[in-house]
Amino acid sequence: MDNIDRITELELGLFELRLKAVTCKPLRQSALYCTECGNDIPDRRRKTLPGVQLCVGCKEVTEVRDRNFGGRA
């Protein structure tokens, strides 16, 4: 087995882990209210994203913060 085979094997393993993370069942029920700001989470969002805890606005802020500061802000 050469280096390219090892790298391909590692990439496949990472892909499988990412796929499991996306497709696994949520560990908790969807929240009725955002855990950050307390606003209602619409029924459509809760059905589309099982286990959702944040409203759209707070989720966008979280994603920007994570992208720009690595979640440390």
Q: Tell me the pLDDT tens digit for each residue of 22-65.
A: 777 667 899 999 999 999 999 999 998 889 999 999 999 999 99
Domain carrying residue 28: 3-69
Helix (H, G, I), strand (E, B) or coil at 18: helix
What is the rounded distance in angstroms from the CA atom of residue 52 to the CA atom of residue 35? 10
Residue type, 70: G
Q: What is the pLDDT of residue 1?
A: 80
Burial class (CB in 10 A: 0-12, 13-18, 19+), 41: buried
* Residue 21 pLDDT > 90: no
Q: What is the pLDDT of residue 71?
A: 59
Q: What is the pLDDT of residue 3?
A: 92
Q: How many structural domains is the chain composed of? A: 1
Q: Tell me the pLDDT tens digit for each residue of 54-68.
A: 999 999 999 999 999
